[in-house]
Structure 1
Amino acid sequence: MSTELVTRKIMDKTAPNRSTAIVNGESSNVLNWDDVRFKWAFPLYKRMLANFWTPFEINMGKDVQQFPQLSKAEQDTFLKIIGLLALLDSIQTDYAAKMADYITDSSVNALMVILAQQEVVHNHSYSYVLSSLVPKGKQDEVFEYWKTEPKLIARNEFITNGYQEFAENPSVENMLKSIVYDVILEGLFFYSGFAFFYNLARNQKMVSTSTMINYINRDEQQHVGLFEKIFKEVLNENPEYNTPELKEFAIQTFRKAAELEIEWAEEIIGNKITGLTMKDVSNYIKFTANLRCNQMGFGKMLVFPDAPTTNPLRWIVAYQEVDLGKTDFFEQKSRQYTKASEANGFDDL
Structure 2
Amino acid sequence: MSPNLLEKVKTLDPMNPNRATALFGGKSSGILNWNNIKYPHWYKTYKRLLSNFWKSDEVNMSNDVKEFPMLSTEEQDTFLKVISLLATLDSSQTRTILLTSLYATDPSVQSILAVIAQQEAVHNESYSYILSSVVSLDKQNEAFEIGRSDPILLKRNQNIMEIYNQFVEKPSLENILKTLVYSTILEGLFFYSGFAFFYNLARQNKMVGTSTMISYINRDELEHGRFICELVRATLGENPELNTKHFTDWVYEQFRNSVELEVEWSHYVLNGVEGIDLDEMEGFIKYRANKMLRMIGLSEIYAMHINNPMKWIRAYVDNFDETKTDFFEQRNRQYTKISDLNGFDEL
Instruction: Flag as ranges the 4+ runs of structure 1 deviating above 3 A.
Output: 324-336
Of structures 1 and 2, the one with the larger relative CO (CA 8 A, separation 6+) is 2
- Percent identity between matched residues is 44
Structure 2 residue 243 is matched with structure 1 residue 235: no
Structure 1 partner of 2:162: 161
Structure 1 partner of 2:69: 68
Q: Tell me if structure 1 keeps the 8 A contact 2:287–2:308.
A: yes
Structure 1 partner of 2:15: 14
CA drift of 1:327 comes to: 6.5
Q: How many residues align?
A: 337
CA distance in 2, matches of 1:227, 1:33: 19
CA distance in 2, matches of 1:334, 1:88: 30
Structure 1 partner of 2:93: 92
CA distance in 1, matches of 2:325, 2:140: 26
Give, as a single letter, the amino acid of the residue that structure 1 aligns with 2:207. Answer: M
CA drift of 1:181 comes to: 0.9
CA drift of 1:318 comes to: 2.3
Gaps of 5+ in 2: 334-342
Structure 2 partner of 1:319: 316
CA drift of 1:328 comes to: 5.4
1:266-277 alignment to 2 at 5 Å?
266-270=267-271, 272-277=272-277
Structure 2 residue 269 is matched with structure 1 residue 297: no
Q: Secondary structure at the match of 1:104?
A: coil
Give, as a single letter, the amino acid of the residue that structure 1 aligns with 2:171. Answer: P
CA distance in 1, matches of 2:195, 2:136: 24
Structure 2 partner of 1:339: none
Give, as a single letter, the amino acid of the residue that structure 1 aligns with 2:297. Answer: G
Give, as a single letter, the amino acid of the residue that structure 1 aligns with 2:307. Answer: T
CA distance in 1, matches of 2:189, 2:285: 7
Give, as a single letter, the amino acid of the residue that structure 1 aligns with 2:308. Answer: N
Structure 2 residue 192 is matched with structure 1 residue 191: yes
1:50-199 alignment to 2 at 5 Å?
50-199=51-200
Q: Tell me if structure 1 keeps the 8 A contact 2:189–2:289.
A: yes
CA drift of 1:115 comes to: 0.7
CA drift of 1:323 comes to: 2.8
Structure 1 partner of 2:279: 279
Q: Tell me if structure 1 keeps the 8 A contact 2:287–2:306.
A: yes
Q: Secondary structure at the match of 2:7?
A: coil
CA drift of 1:292 comes to: 1.1
Q: Tell me if structure 2 keeps the 8 A contact 1:7–1:101.
A: yes
CA distance in 1, matches of 2:325, 2:114: 27
Q: Tell me if structure 2 keeps the 8 A contact 1:23–1:104.
A: yes
CA distance in 2, matches of 1:282, 1:188: 11
CA drift of 1:29 comes to: 0.5
Give, as a single letter, the amino acid of the residue that structure 2 aligns with 1:316. Answer: I
With over 3 angstroms needed to count, the CA separation of the structure-2 counterparts of 1:120 and 1:18, relative to structure 1, is same
CA distance in 1, matches of 2:5, 2:247: 17
CA drift of 1:180 comes to: 1.3
Q: Cα RMSD (Å) of the superposition?
A: 2.0
CA drift of 1:317 comes to: 1.6
With over 3 angstroms needed to count, the CA separation of the structure-2 counterparts of 1:135 and 1:327, relative to structure 1, is farther
Per-residue CA deviations over 1:278-304 (Å, capped at 9, x if unaligned) read 11011111111122122111112x2x3
Q: Secondary structure at the match of 1:127?
A: helix
Gaps of 5+ in 1: 337-341
Structure 2 residue 43 is matched with structure 1 residue 46: no
With over 3 angstroms needed to count, the CA separation of the structure-2 counterparts of 1:225 and 1:68, relative to structure 1, is same
Per-residue CA deviations over 1:305-346 (Å, capped at 9, x if unaligned) read 4x322111011122122534787534465999xxxxx95243
Give, as a single letter, the amino acid of the residue that structure 2 aligns with 1:315. Answer: W
CA distance in 2, matches of 1:176, 1:310: 28
CA drift of 1:6 comes to: 2.8
With over 3 angstroms needed to count, the CA separation of the structure-2 counterparts of 1:135 and 1:204, relative to structure 1, is same
Per-residue CA deviations over 1:202-258 (Å, capped at 9, x if unaligned) read 111100000000000011111111111111111111011111111111111011111
Q: Tell me if structure 2 keeps the 8 A contact 1:211–1:330.
A: no
Q: Tell me if structure 2 keeps the 8 A contact 1:19–1:25.
A: yes
- TM-score normalised to structure 1 length: 0.92
